[in-house]
Every structure is written in structure tokens, then in C-alpha cells.
Amino acid sequence: QKEVEQDPGPLSVPEGAIVSLNCTYSNSAFQYFMWYRQYSRKGPELLMYTYSSGNKEDGRFTAQVDKSSKYISLFIRDSQPSDSATYLCAMSGANFGNEKLTFGTGTRLTIIP
Amino acid sequence: KAGVTQTPRYLIKTRGQQVTLSCSPISGHRSVSWYQQTPGQGLQFLFEYFSETQRNKGNFPGRFSGRQFSNSRSEMNVSTLELGDSALYLCASSPTGTPYNEQFFGPGTRLTVL
């Protein structure tokens, strides 16, 4: 079983809908939780990160972490066609940047105009 | 500031050959990591170099190796290529001093093994 599980999709939603992307994990040592966005033919780029449990909001994006359930989510409000991309969750322990990231397989999202 | 660059962008090789991929990190970044991305397995960590030393290593066979130079540029080598090595190879650099390991990715090298 993988340390991080993510539904690969694909997921298609109409423009303006709320999108929910999720990952589950098994390693209780994970402390930092990140979401990366990857456009076609590009490398991933960091979208948001959170430390430990809780919520973090950045514009139309909200990241949630529930460490008790080992479950993280990314919500996209008022989705736009430009949000069409692959979204990857990533996690690491708390060894001050010295630990490798463990990624989910990514969810391919398409926003239909 | 220029981003992470990778060369070449595309590569076609045959089974049994070897290949070397190159990565130039963002100026000032001393950590360079390599990942293999495939549709089935997603993004898998190969190894990380920091100040010319391998600091972390993933679960890949010894055919996969890397090195880092004093200017932080890095190369990755795959020997005795197999069909299953066909993938997008991503290089990422990371600044020091951040508690979370933010990775800045290059565009990748698409390797096809025939």
C-alpha cells in the first residue's frame, strides 16, 4: 500500500462549480502538507502548504488537513477553465526541510466552460 | 530569477543504452532532487543532493545514479535502460532555511525507451 493515496480521476466539472480534491495517507509522521498544480508539459508548482491540522485559505483555494483521519483536501471555489490541470498532494515530516516529499499520484481536473 | 532548467527536453533511446540528464537549479538553491513521473505510479522520488552529497535516496535500483557539482548543477544517469524507464524525469531545486521542503520544478525531460 502506498503511503499517500490520491484518486487519479479524471474529474470534469462545469465552470463555476466547487471542486473537492482529496488525499489520504498512512504515515503519522507527516507534518507538512502541500498541494502542487501541474499544467500539461510543465513541471509541478506549489499552490499551497499547511502545517499540521487545520484550514488555510488563499483566494479561491482552501486547504484542509485532518490529521486524526489522515485526510487532506483542497477546495476550489468558482472554478475557472484555467484551473484545468493535474493536482498533486505532497507531504513530509518536520525535519526542517531535510526530508523528502512523498507525492500522491495526482488528480487530473478539467473545468468545462 | 531564472527557473530550473533541464536538458534535453526530449530523448529517445533503445534498451540497454545509458542516458545522462542535466539540471541547473535556481541560483542560490543548494538542494537538487530528481523524480520519475509515470501515469501509473505518479511522482516518485529518486534522490536528493545537497552541497555535492547525496542526502536522501528513494527506492530505485542502482542503475539510477546522480551527482551534483560545486555550482549546484546536477546530472542523473540511467544505465542499461529498460522499457519501464520510459517516463518524465523532473528535477527540482529547493532553498535552504524553509521548514517545509518547497520544490521548484523544471519542465522535465521526456525519456522514451524503445
Contact B31, A32 (CB under 8 A): no
Is 60 exceeded by the pLDDT of residue A97?
no
Rounded to 5°, the CA angle A98-B19-B82 comes to 95
* Nearest CA distance, B97 vs chain A (angstrom): 7
Number of Cβ within a 10 Å radius of residue A87 = 24
pLDDT digits 0-9 by tens, A54-95: 899 999 999 999 999 999 999 999 999 999 999 999 998 876
Residue A113, judged by CB atoms within 10 A of its CB (0-12, 13-18, 19+), counts as exposed
- C-alpha cell of residue A72: 487532506
Check B101 against A100: CB less than 8 A apart: yes
For residue B70, what pLDDT band results from cuts at 50, 70 and 90?
very high
Show which residues on chain A lie within 8 Å of chain B, measured between beta carbons. Answer: 6, 32, 34, 36, 41-46, 49, 51, 88, 90, 92, 94, 96-106
* Nearest CA distance, A79 vs chain B (angstrom): 24
Question: What value does the mean pLDDT take over residues A25-40?
Answer: 94
